[in-house]
C-alpha cells in the first residue's frame, strides 16, 4: 500500500486487509511524504499489527511509490503480492479468491484482476466497474488499461520482472503507472486472469485522481488530460519490454511491441496499429487512435 495524506480513512482499509480469510498477510505500507495526521495514524497501525511494516519516504508520486514497494518487497516465502489503495474496503474473501484462481495456473508469470464496486465518500453505492467485456490480450491493454491496480494479485516471478523500475527517469507525464507496468509484463511474459466479480468497495472522493464515479465533468477532464497531456507511456513500455532479458511469450506480441516502439518514425507502423485498437470501450478506442495520430501513444 502507498499512502499520501489519507488520515483516518487508512484505518478501515488496513483493518479489512487484516481480516482476509484463509491467507497469511504481510502488509508493507510506503508513505509518500504525508502530513503529521497521516503519520500518526500509520504509527498507531504499526504498533497494533505485528505483520505490518511502514516505510516513511519522501514525496515521489504514487507511481514511483508503488514501484519502490515492489523493489523493497519481502521475498521470504511469499507466494503472491497485491496492490492496495489507501482508502478502499476489501471483502474478506478478496485475496483468497484471487489465490485460488492463480494456483490453478502453472505459468510462473501470472496476474489476477477483477471488477470493483464504486462508492462515493458517503459510502453510497454508485456503480459496478465491470471488466467482463474487456478483451483479454495485450492489444486491448495497450489501447486502454481498464484494470484497477487495487484489484491486482500477482506472482513472485511477475513481481521480480516488474521491480527496479522506480529508477526510470521519465517525466511524470510520461511515466507508466505501476498497474500498467505490471500488467504489461504479465501480458508480455505470462498470463492475465480476469474475474468479472467484485470484492472491493472502491471509494471515490472529489479529490480522487481518476474519474470513475466522480461525474461527467471530471470524466471529461481526465479524458482530455490522458489524450493530450499523457505522452509516450505505451511507447516507453514497449521499449522496456523489448529490452528485457526475458523472452517475450510469442512472436506476434513481439511484433506488436515493435509497432508501438517505432510508430512515430514509420507511417506503416502507425497505420498497422489501428488494427489492434479494441479495448471493449468506444471512448478508450477513440482516445488511443487520437494519441497515435498526434504522437502521444
Show the cell assigned to 157. Answer: 516471478
Q: Is the confidence at residue 233, as pLDDT, over 90?
A: yes
Q: Return the minimum-mean-pLDDT range out of 141-145, 160-164, 216-220.
A: 216-220
Q: How far apart are CA 297 and CA 293, in angstroms?
A: 8
For residue 171, the model assigns a pLDDT of: 94
For residue 218, the model assigns a pLDDT of: 76
Q: How far apart are CA 131 and CA 195, in angstroms?
A: 8
Q: Is the confidence at residue 208, as pLDDT, over 80?
A: no
| DSSP 8-state secondary structure symbol assigned to residue 166 | G
Q: How far apart are CA 264 and CA 274, in angstroms?
A: 14
Q: How far apart are CA 251 and CA 230, in angstroms?
A: 29
Predicted confidence (pLDDT) per residue in 151-186, tens digit = 999 999 999 999 999 999 999 999 999 999 999 999
206 pLDDT tier (thresholds 50, 70, 90): confident
Collapsing DSSP states into helix, strand and coil, what is residue 132? Answer: coil
Q: Is the confidence at residue 209, as pLDDT, over 60?
A: no
For residue 12, the model assigns a pLDDT of: 96
Q: How far apart are CA 32 and CA 240, in angstroms?
A: 25
Burial string for 21-38 (b: 16+ CB within 10 Å, else e) reads eebeeebbbbbbbbeeeb
Q: How far apart are CA 192 and CA 183, in angstroms?
A: 8
Q: What are phi and psi of 258, to 5 degrees?
A: -65, -40
Q: Averaged over 121-143, what is the pLDDT?
A: 97
Show the cell assigned to 204. Answer: 471515490
Show the cell assigned to 73. Answer: 518487497
Nearest to 197 by CA among 89, 88, 91, 81: 91
What average pLDDT is seen over the chain?
95
Q: Any idea which residue has 511515466 for its cell?
A: 175
211 pLDDT tier (thresholds 50, 70, 90): very low
Q: Going along 188-250, which residue ranges are E strands?
A: 191-203
Amino acid at each position: 500500500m502507498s499512502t499520501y495524506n489519507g488520515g483516518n480513512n487508512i484505518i478501515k482499509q488496513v483493518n479489512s486487509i487484516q481480516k482476509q480469510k484463509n491467507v497469511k498477510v504481510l502488509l508493507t505500507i510506503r508513505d509518500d511524504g504525508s502530513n503529521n495526521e497521516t503519520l500518526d495514524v500509520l504509527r498507531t497501525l504499526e504498533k497494533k499489527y505485528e505483520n505490518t511494516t511502514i516505510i516513511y519516504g519522501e514525496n515521489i508520486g504514487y507511481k514511483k511509490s508503488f514501484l519502490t514497494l515492489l523493489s523493497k518487497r519481502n521475498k521470504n516465502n511469499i507466494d503472491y503480492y497485491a496492490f492496495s489503495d489507501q482508502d478502499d474496503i476489501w471483502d474478506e474473501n478478496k485475496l483468497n479468491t484471487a489465490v485460488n484462481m492463480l494456483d490453478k495456473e502453472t505459468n510462473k508469470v501470472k496476474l489476477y484482476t477483477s471488477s470493483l464496486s464504486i462508492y462515493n465518500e458517503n459510502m453510497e453505492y454508485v456503480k459496478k466497474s465491470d471488466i467482463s467485456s474487456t478483451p483479454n490480450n495485450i492489444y486491448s491493454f495497450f489501447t486502454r488499461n481498464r484494470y484497477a491496480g487495487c484489484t491486482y494479485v500477482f506472482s513472485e516471478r511477475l513481481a521480480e520482472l516488474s521491480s527496479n523500475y522506480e529508477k526510470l527517469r521519465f517525466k511524470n507525464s510520461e511515466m507508466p503507472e505501476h498497474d500498467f507496468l505490471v500488467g504489461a509484463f504479465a501480458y508480455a511474459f505470462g498470463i492475465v486472469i480476469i474475474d468479472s466479480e467484485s470484492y472491493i468497495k472502491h471509494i471515490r472522493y472529489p479529490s480522487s485522481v481518476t474519474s470513475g464515479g466522480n461525474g461527467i465533468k471530471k470524466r471529461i477532464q481526465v479524458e482530455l488530460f490522458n489524450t493530450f497531456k499523457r505522452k509516450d507511456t505505451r511507447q516507453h513500455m514497449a521499449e522496456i519490454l523489448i529490452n528485457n532479458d526475458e523472452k517475450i511469450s510469442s512472436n506476434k506480441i513481439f511484433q506488436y511491441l515493435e509497432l508501438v516502439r517505432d510508430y512515430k518514425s514509420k507511417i506503416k507502423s502507425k497505420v498497422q496499429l489501428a488494427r489492434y485498437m479494441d479495448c471493449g470501450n468506444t471512448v478508450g478506442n477513440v482516445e488511443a487512435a487520437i494519441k497515435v495520430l498526434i504522437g502521444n501513444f
